[in-house]
A and B are shown apart, each in its own frame.
Chain A
Amino acid sequence: KAGVTQTPRYLIKTRGQQVTLSCSPISGHRSVSWYQQTPGQGLQFLFEYFSETQRNKGNFPGRFSGRQFSNSRSEMNVSTLELGDSALYLCASSSPGQRETQYFGPGTRLLVL
């Protein structure tokens, strides 16, 4: 099976812009979670989608949003970018029978200038 894929892999934006990141889960996986990784804060949970519904949300401002499509692909959107949004954004997917076990994609590196 192909692994989790994320596009784009690298992104440079300026403050105030918005960005959309995409994640395609492993075939058959219906849960997609998003994490932000920064040197200062480490790995932090953003949100989880399961069967097109947001099931959990981390402690991030409303500028961070996401959605999931019927084919389980997910997108994450960040509006009004701030310098502090520069990070590695990781997407992970899990199967219906083992929702707790998450497999990660290669990540999208976002740099906000």
Chain B
Amino acid sequence: AQTVTQSQPEMSVQEAETVTLSCTYDTSESDYYLFWYKQPPSRQMILVIRQEAYKQQNATENRFSVNFQKAAKSFSLKISDSQLGDAAMYFCAVNSGGSNYKLTFGKGTLLTVNP
């Protein structure tokens, strides 16, 4: 079984500042993938960043980067130079692959960006 916990229901950040969203997960698989998705008010789920568990190097995508701590089962998302368009619900998710390619999501963190 897979579980994902996002302990911050809401976060806020000033425009141009940096914010970190937390996520912890649990899976019995040794090979798995971690994701952050963004869901703006339009409700379209957008893939932000992807991390393969077997890779020690943290993934980065422009202003978005992760801090992946495999032993601690922690997967936080850092957003640098926050923009108004970053305001959204952010979901952390795990997919253990193998015979079961389902995503298990956390409850989400609502990010507000203040001008």
Contact = CB atoms under 8 A, between A and B. Distances in A.
A106 B101 contact: no
Interface in B19-67: 33, 35, 37, 42-47, 50
Interface centre among A31, A43, A55 (most CB of B within 10 A): A43
Contacts of A43: 91, 103, 105
B35 A101 contact: yes
A107 interface: yes
Nearest to A103: B47
A33 interface: yes
User: Which applies to chain A's interface (DSSP): helix, strand, loop or mixed?
Assistant: strand
B47 A101 contact: yes
Interface string A17-40: 000000000000001010100000
B82 interface: no
A105 B37 CA distance: 13
Contacts of A90: 45
Nearest to A106: B44
Given A88-B43, A106-B43, A42 B105 contact: yes
A100 B44 contact: no
Nearest to B105: A43
Nearest to B42: A106
Contact of A100 (B46, B95, B106): B95
Given A100-B95, A102-B47, 18 more contacts: A31-B101, A33-B101, A33-B102, A42-B108, A43-B105, A45-B104, A48-B102, A50-B101, A55-B101, A56-B99, A94-B101, A99-B97, A100-B33, A104-B45, A104-B47, A106-B43, A107-B43, A107-B45
27 contacts: A31-B101, A33-B102, A33-B103, A42-B106, A42-B107, A43-B103, A45-B102, A45-B103, A48-B102, A56-B99, A58-B102, A92-B45, A94-B101, A99-B97, A99-B101, A100-B33, A100-B95, A101-B35, A101-B47, A102-B95, A102-B103, A103-B47, A104-B44, A104-B45, A104-B47, A106-B42, A107-B44
Interface of B: 33, 35, 37, 42-47, 50, 91, 95, 97, 99-108
